[in-house]
Chains A and B, each alone.
Chain A
Amino acid sequence: MTSIGEFIAALGHYNFLQSALLASVMVGIMSGIIGSYIILRGMSLMGDAISHSVLPGVAVAYMLGINLLIGASAFGVIAALLIGFVATNSKLKNDTAIGIVFSAFFALGFILISMAESSTNLHHILFGNVLAVSDRDLITTIIVLAIVILFIVLFFKELLITSFDETFAKTYGLKTGYVHYGLMIVLTLVTVSALQTVGIILIVAMLITPAATAFLWTNRLTTMVVLASALGALASTIGLYLSYTLNWASGPAIVLVAALIFLGSFIVSPKQGFVTKLMGVKNA
């Protein structure tokens, strides 16, 4: 295992490693931000569904030679609309609708990808290949990060109230559907960026694990969002270091680090209170 010093030296030498680190950190930040809203809205499963549902969009974009973001967003939004349609127009529960739609989309995507040209590596799409981030990918990621930040700053009030008390939002005339689908669009953009670092299958971990960790430490939404993005960036950095030095796949490495940070927080955070409860017992 290389030391941290050697890792930093390698960062200075290799462009691909710099790009990888930049992309991972940005993806960590944006997924921490959006993930905070996803978990507060009780939409973890929806986050997983949307990230899987962009696969056919990725395939179609490759086939037609159009921008990945456009193809993926289109399919992400179609999936979100379909899920909403099935849930409201049948007696099925929401999670059932989600399960049907996203598995169908994922299956379709799998077949389309195998039909697309051979250079698209399914394994990399599913599990990420951060060491192959191109300059164009990097620019796309920067744009998505800007969109995410702009979105939550401009619609801070609307995101807060629809997450906390949707009925109230409706009574004062807010079109809560627009907020929901806006969030779904931004979520698909984040998904496409995260494709490179952690891959489709593990994106949900980047969305919910740092956000859930942050939730354990704070009672303020803004703090939660900032902390979640910081934790996402931290997990990405450490994960990338492990990936580089131990030759692990980048996605699983990043996700495992995020999970370990969560585990530590789960044990010691004051809100969860395992340690404080134990001390309380001793004091009593």
Chain B
Amino acid sequence: MLKIKELTVAYTSTPVFSDLSVAFSPGKITGIIGPNGAGKSTLIKGALGLIRRTGESFVDNQPVRRVRRKIAYVEQRAALDLTFPISVFEVVLTGTYGKLGLFKSPGQTERNDVMKALEQVNLTEFRNRQIGELSGGQLQRVFVARAIVQQADVVILDEPFVGIDMKSEEEIMHVLRDWRAAGKTIIVVHHDLNKVANYFDDLLIMNHGIVAHGPVSDVYNKVNIQQAFSADLSAVLFTETEDVS
């Protein structure tokens, strides 16, 4: 369970959001949706303490900075150097570094974990490839495999489905559902409203603060989408028939 308490993040003098508090439930896949610039990624980075913020976040009632290893974070892909001399296997192996700590090298146990994770995302045959030689979808699966290896209680993915093929998307969803079955807390920043009902149990709708939070069936409706996005989009997504419920 990840709890965020009174979080405020400001890049400039106007905060992106202030005093935001929210708790993500274990055993559920929660989607975070909202328009561009609504503060979705900022919420995640703030909760992880990667950017300057006020407020605090907790995993199982312990401050995140003390229990960092309980969280796995799959960043948006853009920033990495894809020419780096590192293979698929080695990238996934870096998922064991947190647990190993200083001065310990990954051993056979860690290598076995990596092989299992690669199998789960169907990348076993690509394990010796340099990461620049992969497609967008394969690359995203590499980072999901690394999150598997981290064996964290909370897994956060920032727009994992952007620019990837359907097969990769399905395989990643499969892993997410396995994690859910294992009782982990899964949080996905998401951009595509179409699949919201299929993919998520809970939904956090944001627009510089929380618009709505709860089970998809309760909060994914015309009013909330209109408030977070626009009346036009809301009208397209929710036809009259759906509105009755």
Contacts from A to B (Cβ < 8 Å) = 40, 42, 154-158, 160-161, 163-165, 167-174, 215, 218-221, 223-224
- Of chain B, the residue at the smallest CB distance from A161 is B94
Q: Are A172 and B98 in contact (CB under 8 A)?
A: yes
Contacts from B to A (Cβ < 8 Å) = 48, 50, 65, 68-69, 71-73, 75, 79-81, 84-87, 90-91, 94, 97-98, 100, 102-103, 105-106, 130, 146, 150
B contact patch SS: mixed
- A-B contacts besides A158-B97, A164-B91, A165-B94, 4 pairs, CB < 8 Å: A157-B100, A167-B50, A170-B50, A220-B87
* Cα separation A223 to B85 with both chains bound (whole Å): 9
Q: Are B48 and A168 in contact (CB under 8 A)?
A: no
* Cα separation A116 to B173 with both chains bound (whole Å): 68
* Cα separation A220 to B86 with both chains bound (whole Å): 6
Residues of chain A lying within 8 A (CB to CB) of residue B65:
173
A contact patch SS: helix
Q: Are A168 and B102 in contact (CB under 8 A)?
A: no
A158 to chain B, nearest CB (A): 7
Q: Are A158 and B94 in contact (CB under 8 A)?
A: no
* Cα separation A174 to B71 with both chains bound (whole Å): 13
Q: What 4 A-B pairs are tightest by C-beta distance, nearest first?
A: A172-B98, A173-B68, A219-B130, A171-B73
Q: Are A163 and B97 in contact (CB under 8 A)?
A: no
A269 to chain B, nearest CB (A): 13
A107 to chain B, nearest CB (A): 34
- Of chain B, the residue at the smallest CB distance from A220 is B85
22 A-B contacts (beta carbon < 8 Å): A40-B81, A156-B105, A157-B97, A157-B100, A158-B102, A160-B94, A163-B84, A164-B84, A164-B94, A165-B80, A165-B94, A167-B75, A168-B73, A168-B146, A169-B97, A171-B72, A171-B73, A218-B85, A219-B85, A219-B130, A221-B85, A221-B86
* Cα separation A158 to B94 with both chains bound (whole Å): 10
Partner of A157, one of B72, B105, B130: B105
Residues of chain B lying within 8 A (CB to CB) of residue A168:
73, 75, 94, 146
Q: Are A172 and B75 in contact (CB under 8 A)?
A: no
Q: Are B69 and A173 in contact (CB under 8 A)?
A: yes
- Of chain A, the residue at the smallest CB distance from B68 is A173
A36 to chain B, nearest CB (A): 9
Q: Are B73 and A40 in contact (CB under 8 A)?
A: no
Q: Are A164 and B98 in contact (CB under 8 A)?
A: no
